[in-house]
Chain A
Amino acid sequence: MTLLVAISALWIGLLQTSIIPRSHTWLLPIYFIVSLGCYGLLMVGVGLMQFPTCPQEAILLQQDVAEAKEFLKQKGVDVGGCD
């Protein structure tokens, strides 16, 4: 939030002082948003490619579930029915 305010303040400052041509300054926020969007898309892409998966965990869980069911059945806990 504070960062957002700082950036807009900087932008308004640039507009006022017109160090660089005004028409360029007007376009700066658009550049900013477009580059932010590109960054976001890139990060999503990178994240998707490196998405950590763990198929072996599913097998381990299956074993744990079977073990737990066996134990609970012996102890008379109702584990039948729906799954």
Chain B
Amino acid sequence: MEKNKYSIIVPTYNERLNIALLVYLIFKHLRDVDFEIIIVDDGSPDGTQQVVEQLQQLYGEDRILLRARAKKLGLGTAYIHGLKHASGNFVVIMDADLSHHPKYLPSFIKKQLETGASIVTGTRYVKGGGVHGWNLMRKLTSRGANVLAQTLLWPGVSDLTGSFRLYRKSVLEDIISSCVSKGYVFQMEMIVRASRKGYHIEEVPISFVDRVYGISKLGGSEIVEYLKGLAYLLVTT
């Protein structure tokens, strides 16, 4: 059997502390797995890249790849950029802010091996998963958005906007090229398009701990963007 290699793509912007903690935790939880971490840093002014260079010296430049870009260019293109440098046959995408805990990586890999799925997506809305640090408003918008999307799109997955996912590399390359949205909607578009193309998608429960209290990423303009994205997906898929 062919040996699997996992490329973990982490987009960063001003995550100098979190990226170090994340890298440590990834190495702690993935011991018998061949993997590389690809950090796509969008020109953070806080010295994220210097910390990554220190980590490279500690763990090896073949395990941690720094693929920086000059300025903030958005999440979708960060994935494409990281994907170009990925040498594994599987790609994991996760956030750098530790809301996605590396301890779930083995369950993603195990699920994929068991089912042969093309995509394994982390879900916060099933037993064993969960969210911490969200206020009522955040929960309400999250539920509302989810019910709306489930009713209109029938995607077959319970968590559309989460971004902690494992992809077969060829599958990610295939769907990412047909996605045009940004931000939250981008995550949703990827999974909806994958579902429409008939790729085998599996889910694993994850917990999502929001450490940045008080800052709601879901403002009024985000909700409008979300609704526009939903309508766009409804007519194009």
Q: Residues of A with Cβ closer than 8 Å to B? A: 1, 36, 39-40, 43-44, 47-48, 51-55, 57-58, 61, 64-65, 68-69, 71-72, 75-79, 81-83
Is B169's beta carbon under 8 Å from chain A?
no
Given pairs A39-B151, A72-B21, 13 additional interface contacts (CB within 8 A): A43-B147, A44-B140, A47-B147, A48-B139, A52-B124, A53-B130, A54-B132, A61-B209, A65-B21, A68-B20, A68-B21, A68-B25, A78-B51
| Smallest Cβ-Cβ distance to B14: which chain A residue | A82
Least CB distance from B54 to A in Å reads 5
Contact A76 to B133, CB < 8 A, known contacts A57-B207, A65-B21, A82-B46: no
Contact B17 A44 (CB under 8 A): no
Chain A contacts for B139, CB-based, 8 A: 48, 51
Chain A contacts for B50, CB-based, 8 A: 78
Chain B contacts for A57, CB-based, 8 A: 101, 130, 132, 207, 209
Number of A-B contacts (CB under 8 A): 97
Is B144's beta carbon under 8 Å from chain A?
yes
Is B184's beta carbon under 8 Å from chain A?
no
Contact A48 B101 (CB under 8 A): no
In this complex, the interface size class of chain B, counting residues with CB under 8 Å from chain A, is: 35 or more
Chain B contacts for A82, CB-based, 8 A: 16-17, 46
Chain A contacts for B234, CB-based, 8 A: 1
Is B33's beta carbon under 8 Å from chain A?
no
| Smallest Cβ-Cβ distance to B98: which chain A residue | A61
Contact A40 B151 (CB under 8 A): yes
Chain A contacts for B136, CB-based, 8 A: 48
Is B116's beta carbon under 8 Å from chain A?
no
Least CB distance from B115 to A in Å reads 23
Chain B contacts for A61, CB-based, 8 A: 98, 101, 209, 211
How far is B206's CA from A54's CA once the two chains are assembled, in angstroms? 10
Contact B143 A48 (CB under 8 A): yes
B103-125 near A? 1/0 per residue, CB < 8 Å = 10000000000000000000011
